[in-house]
Amino acid sequence: MKSVCFYFKIHQPFRLKRYRFFDIGNDHYYYDDFANDEIVSRLAQTSYIPMAETLLKMIEESNREFKCAISISGTAIEQLQLYVPEFIELLKKLADTGCVEFLSGTFSHGLASLEDPEEFIRQVKVHDDIMQRLFGVKPKVFANTELIYDDEIATLIAGMGFKTVLTEGAKHILGWKSPNYLYQSASAPELKLLLTNNKLADDIALNFNNTAWDEYPLTADKYIDWLASLPEQEQVVNLYMSMETFGSFLPKDSGIFDFMRALPRFAKEKGVCFTTPSDVVAKLKPVDMISVPFPISDIDEARDVSAWKGNELQNEALGKLYATAERVNLCTDRRLKQDWEYLQSSDHFYYMSTKNMADGASHAAFSPYDSPFAAFTNYMNVLADFIVRVEEQYPEEIDNEELNSLLLTIRNQAAEINELNKEVKTLRNNILNADDSTNAPKDELIEVAKKGDVESPKRGRKPAIKATKKPAAKKSK
């Protein structure tokens, strides 16, 4: 039986407000709350909520035979909690069905996998902690930002304990091979690879409403026929699309939601089943190893990472940002750490792309800026203020090794103080519970305990509290 897995991506960055050079050092709030509220609320009403409700209906109407996967970034979750909390409740309902698998990823939908392995691992942990807390699930399958992947990233993903990763079925990597099989990583053989089928995904995402397309109109039975007619030996078809495609790029009046609801019925007639990525991996064996020496992604015709690292502007911004990584992660300033998360979103660098439409790029269509240079200038102004705040806490004159040593000493001292406080508390309790036969009054003993000489066991001395009676008054002769 042919297996099909739908993946729906949800991501929203915290968009930056217009930030001038003269704001540096004076304004530490960087975000366009109005734009964030308006965009997220609009997409929720036109796309996210109707699509989530459609998925719930598909699961119910198919007697739970319809299954799919959802990938959602941490920054999207935070904005949805802030502006459209009812959608979070719908996601919880989807999780409760047991028919929707939530994927792991990076919190900020950032590029740390290309720039800073330690930050990459930290971001994944933050993301998965949120998934566990909100939806009660621990993700088992990993999907990086825009499906970015190569052999080095594979070793990082495997090192975090993941057994499966979703990435792009790029033609220049596969060659003559089909993406409709389960593969394994050449650099981390224990890691299984699920590859997306771009053509069949684009037939929905790009061509469903395209009247110039030679297959227009696309109907549910026609689409299922295409899936069923694939070679019998091909194991699984992975269809990866942005959730905002449904209802936003493809409006409701195009019939896209009706198309989706009809798929399970025709699939059952043709012997096509819907599945989750974990179910696929559980029942299939890899057919071959795939080596990816250079990073790939699901963006643009090139399917590489030039959308974010293709010019000097982007590389300058990325270099400046990640140069602060070690110091930011050492600090305890919650606001600074939050800005660090939000500034990593890949969208900020995507807007700086100078690729043109001939390259298959459509960056300008998604950018709130007039030009890539305006995006770069605005971001660098924000980043300059952010760096000033980081250096206020950890001056640039102190190198990272010295800074680590100082902070380690401070933390050790804090831990020692906590231990001493615990010892004093224990001793006070012992005094309060002392036998009534004790000659000294308890209040006096407690007072002595407050002043007692309590040293850390690390220094080789045991805690000691000395209490003595007051000398008796001499009798007058």
- What are 401's strand-pairing partners? none
Is the separation of the CB atoms in 180 and 202 below 8 Å?
Answer: no
Residue of 146, 168, 244, 341 marked active site: 146
Any idea what the Cα angle at residue 305 is, between residues 191 and 381, rounded to 5°? 125
Distance between CA atoms of 12 and 345, rounded to whole angstroms? 9
In three state form, how does the secondary structure of the chain look? Answer: CEEEEEEEEECCCCCECCCCHHHCCCCCCCECHHHHHHHHHHHHHHHHHHHHHHHHHHHHHCCCCCCEEEEECHHHHHHHHHHCHHHHHHHHHHHHHCCEEECECCCCCECHHHHCHHHHHHHHHHHHHHHHHHHCCCCCEEECHHHCECHHHHHHHHHCCCCEEEECCCHHHHCCCCCCCEEEECCCCCCEEEEECHHHHHHHHCCCCCCCCCCCCCCHHHHHHHHHCCCCCCCEEEEEEEHHHECCCECHHHCHHHHHHHHHHHHHHHCEEECCHHHHHHHCCCCCEECCCCCECCCCCCCCCHHHHCCHHHHHHHHHHHCCHHHHHHCCCHHHHHHHHHHCECHHHHCCCCCCHHHCCCHHHHCCCCCHHHHHHHHHHHHHHHHHHHHHHCCCCCCHHHHHHHHHHHHHHHHHHHHHHHHHHHHHHHHHCCCCCCCCCHHHHHHHHHHCCCCCHHHCCCCCCCCCCCCCCCCCC
What number of other Cβ atoms are within 10 A of residue 207's Cβ?
17
Report the amino acid identity of residue 174.
Answer: L
CA angle, 165 then 168 then 171, to 5°: 140
Q: How far apart are CA 127 and CA 106, in angstroms?
A: 6
| Torsion angle, alpha carbons of 154, 155, 158, 163, to 10 | 40
- 146 is known as an active-site residue: yes
Task: Give the catalytic positions in this structure.
Answer: 146
